[in-house]
Each structure stands twice: as C-alpha cells, then as structure tokens.
Amino acid sequence: MKNITKTVWILSVVSLFTDTASEMLYPIMPIYLKSIGFSIVLIGILEGVAEATAGLSKGYFGKLSDNSGKRVPFVQIGYALSAISKPMMAVFVYPLWIFFARTIDRFGKGIRTGARDAILSDEATPATKGKVFGFHRSMDTLGAVLGPALALLYLYYHPQDYKTLFYIAFIPGLLAVAASFYLKDKRETTAKKKTPTPFFSFLHYWKESPLGYRKLVIGLLAFTLFNSSDVFLLLKAKQAGLDDSMVIGVYIFYNLVYALFAFPIGAVADKIGLKKVYLIGLALFAGVYFGMAVNSNPIIFFGLFFLYGVYAAATEGISKAWISNLTDKQDTATAIGTYSGFQSICTMLASSLAGYIWFQFGAAATFVVTGTATLLVIAYFVGTIKTFPK
C-alpha cells in the first residue's frame, strides 16, 4: 500500500460507502419506478435528464474548484446531496418529486467529480498516478459488489419491499458524508484571480488546454460514443437464457473482478505506461463485444464478464490518471470535469444509438458495431501515440 496516503484512503472509503448506497438501488430502480406508475418512456426521460445534469455540472464545478483553490467543500457538498436523495425518492411518489430527487443525486456527482479527482492527482506523482487512481477505483467498485448483494439479501427476506431499501441506502450515504469531514484542503492550494465563473466557462478550457490533452480526450470521447450502458450486456445475457438472479449475479461478478484488478493494474500501468495499459483495456473491450455478438452459452458469459471487469480496471481510473499527467496542476479539476462532462453526454448518445441498432438490426449488430468502432479508436491512439507522454 505504499504511495496510498491518508487522504486517498479517506476519499476511497467515502466512495465505497456512496457506491454501496447507489448500487443497492441500481438493480431495483426500474422495478420501483414502474411500481409507482412510471412508464418505460418516462424512466428513460428521467435518466436522461439526470445524466445531462451531472454531465453539464461536472465541467462547471471543476472550473469553480480550480478558480477558488478549494477542493474539499465541493467533495463534501456533492456526497451530501447524493446521500439525501436516497430517502427523498421514497418519501413521495409524485413524478415531479422523483425527477427532483434523482436530479439532486446526479447534481451531487457533478459537484464532487472534478474536485475529488484533483485531490487524488495532488496526492500522487506522475509515476504513481495509476496506482492511486486504481486504488480509488477498486474501493469505489467494491461498493458496486456490496450494494446489489445487500439488496438481494434484503429482498430475499422482504420480497417487493422496494421502498424500505431507499431508507436503508441512506445509512451508507450518511457514513460517506461523515468520513468526508476528515478531509482537509492543502494549504498550498491557491485560488486563481477572482473572476466570475459562468456555467459554460469550462468550455473555454478546450481552446486553452495542451494539444496532448485535446488529442487524448478526442480519442476517449470517440470510444465513449460507442460504449453504451452495461444494461445492454445484461439484456444479452438475459436473452441467452440466464434468469433474473443469474443476471444480477453476473453483474456482481463483473464488479468484483473490476474491484480486485483496478489497483494492481494501476500499479502495472505506472511501470509500463498508462497508454499501453489503456490500449490493452480497449482490446479486451472489443474482444468482449465481438464475443457477445456470437455467444449464446450462459457459462461463457461469465468468462466474457470476467474480461469485461479487467477491461474496466484497465481504463476507468487510468484515463483520468492519464489526463492529469497532461495538464497543469491548477487546471486538474477543470480538465477532468470537462472530460467527464462530455463523457456523460456521449454515454447518453451511445445508449440511444445502441438501442436503435438493437431495435432495427438485432443484438448481434449492436455488439459488432461497437467492437469495430473500438478497433478504429485503438488505431487512432496508435497513430497519434507519439504525441502522448507516458
């Protein structure tokens, strides 16, 4: 655990508790919303609005964090909003209230993302970024294992009692907020000149950012445009004959693999290079999607989800570590927030595109198109790789 500072530990524990709360509700959210009268279309609109809110706010609050020279208040407020949103969704079932509560949750994510990742970057050196971001991803994703497992356990004894789960999820959310109060801003973090920060001011960073950053983000976003929601992978597994429990089980298995591999893969990336590990991750992703297109054997799905977990471990934290190595320290939150914001928008578009291809041409076409597009993204990175530092 060398290079993992007290601050990194605290942030990782905060993320662990928060993800436990969020992922406890992830498998049952569509079922709960349908049970209180939401149609499939309304659920789609709800998630779209929530993700757009998170996406646009990530860049703004990242810029605001850099301008103010503060990190911790953004982290604390962001996690607090996500925590209180959980019981809010159970108190009232009116559509407008549900929209408000869900948006509050995503707004909290938007407030904290850039500042949190900037703290992680400040706690590392260029030679340890992979390890630090990888450790945080491991702890964060462990919550995605514990959350659904706790939800399954509760529903086993209390079938269809979805509302109570929203109150239970408030407990790890509160623990996350409590842990965040152990964070302290570094004294050497200085504010920039006090100037107004309009909501879309982070977009100006694109013009001011280093060329390497822009080339990297173009490649990352091109991949994101075809990297649709994991729901499509789970739907394919369901289509192949896995029952509901097995589908949730394979999702938990994927997150467990991700959690176990993120830290060691981050350490390897520090030794052989972030870009090499990221490209290996993309190659695994392409292989998984081509495999999904042709596979109908339920057993093989566990192998594909194992590789998918390794892919996630090799890309999620690595991409942010890579970005932070290409930008000035005082712009880290803006750089990561801007990328994360565009990433959220591209993810929405990717899921819409995948859904359209699935509806028009079938599941296999969806996975083949995504796998092929990923190979083209790999070719882009290989073609421009010389402009990127390690």
In order of their start, the domains of the chain are 6-184+208-387 (1.20.1250.20)
**What local confidence, expressed as pLDDT, does residue 188 receive?**
53
Q: pLDDT tens digits, residue range 335-357?
A: 998 898 888 888 878 878 888 88
DSSP 92: -
**Inter-residue long-range contacts of 341-344, CB under 8 Å, 24+ positions, other chains counted:** 341/55, 341/56, 341/57, 341/58, 341/59, 341/60, 341/62, 341/110, 341/202, 342/55, 342/59, 342/217, 342/221, 343/55, 343/220, 343/221, 343/224, 344/51, 344/52, 344/54, 344/55, 344/56, 344/58
Q: How do residues 88-99 score in pLDDT, each as one tens digit?
A: 988 887 888 888
Q: Which residues contact 210 (CB under 8 A, 6 or more apart)?
A: 326, 327
For the entire predicted model, the pTM comes to: 0.85
pLDDT for residue 85: 92
Q: Choose among 375, 255, 261, 275: nearest CA to 310.
A: 261
Lowest mean pLDDT among 20-34, 110-124, 214-228: 20-34
Are 319 and 311 a contacting pair, CB within 8 Å?
no
